[in-house]
Amino acid sequence: MDRIHRQDGSDLLTRTVAPGVALGGILVGFGLALKGPLDGVSHAEEGVNKDLAAHRDGTWNTITAVWSQIGNTAGVVAVCIVVSSLLLWRTKDLRLAFVAPIAIAMQGLIFLIAAKVVDRDRPQVPHLDKSPPTASYPSGHEGASTGLYLAFALLALGIERAWLRWTTVILCLAMPMMVGFARLYRGMHHVTDVSAGVLNGAICALLAYGWYRHTSSRRREIRGAGTKSLGRSG
């Protein structure tokens, strides 16, 4: 059993952490390019923020304030802890319960490094939210919500009842979309900031889920081999 746990840890490093390092490098490189050779893109996408700001109204200000909070760090962490704890209680599978926390932790670390290195200014429009101490690129709200809810959507594919499975998947996928629109509408991020956040969260969720699927498959093979061995010895 100790050997299996060590192998799980080794797989986590090679199948999740190592690709995550590469992802971080790509996001940092693209972010720096937006401040250099791709500076024209930065100026062009300001038009999206200005257009959204010009069409703001009280109703959408209220709606997007709620949607924006879906990606708030405290909210994401709280939901992650509650749902992952419930999954552990129901399944007794620690690795399954760790999928969302791993995705959130990875995207969060990548976000912090990329934001510090790139240090991109926020859009030149009135901001409807208080600016956090981090920079505009990539969107932390979008990365966190994508990582969390895509991880849940992937895990929901294992739900047996089709109506519940697809309802859960659709709701989970809708969450990051609402957060992304809210952050643009409220003037907190450029389009490329949100896009980078989606990429960050999505790949981290896929890597964490892929690790879980791989380790589960290996354990089934070990159990199957053990069963066959007992059958022959009997």
* pLDDT(131) > 90: no
Return mean pLDDT, the chain.
89
What are the pLDDT digits (tens) for 60-117?
A: 999 999 999 999 989 999 999 999 999 999 989 998 999 999 999 999 999 999 999 9
* pLDDT(224) > 70: no
**pTM listed for this prediction:** 0.89
**Domain residues of the chain, as ranges?**
48-214
Sorted by sequence, the CB contacts under 8 Å of residue 21 that are 6+ apart come out as none
What is the DSSP secondary structure assignment for residue 124, as one 8-state letter?
S
Residue scoring higher pLDDT (5 or 69): 69
- The whole-number pLDDT of residue 228 equals 52
What are the pLDDT digits (tens) for 6-59?
A: 776 777 888 889 999 999 999 999 999 998 898 888 888 999 999 999 999 999
Sign of dihedral through CA atoms 75, 114, 28, 13?
negative
- The whole-number pLDDT of residue 12 equals 83
What are the pLDDT digits (tens) for 154-177?
A: 999 988 899 999 999 999 999 999
* pLDDT(4) > 70: no
Summarize the chain as % helix, strand, coil (round to 5): 80, 0, 20
- The whole-number pLDDT of residue 230 equals 44
Residue scoring higher pLDDT (131 or 4): 131
- The whole-number pLDDT of residue 223 equals 60
Pick the closest to residue 191 from 13, 37, 49, 23 (CA basis).
Answer: 49
For residue 156, give both structure tokens: 């929901």
What are the pLDDT digits (tens) for 177-210?
A: 999 999 999 999 999 999 999 999 999 999 999 9
- The whole-number pLDDT of residue 2 equals 58
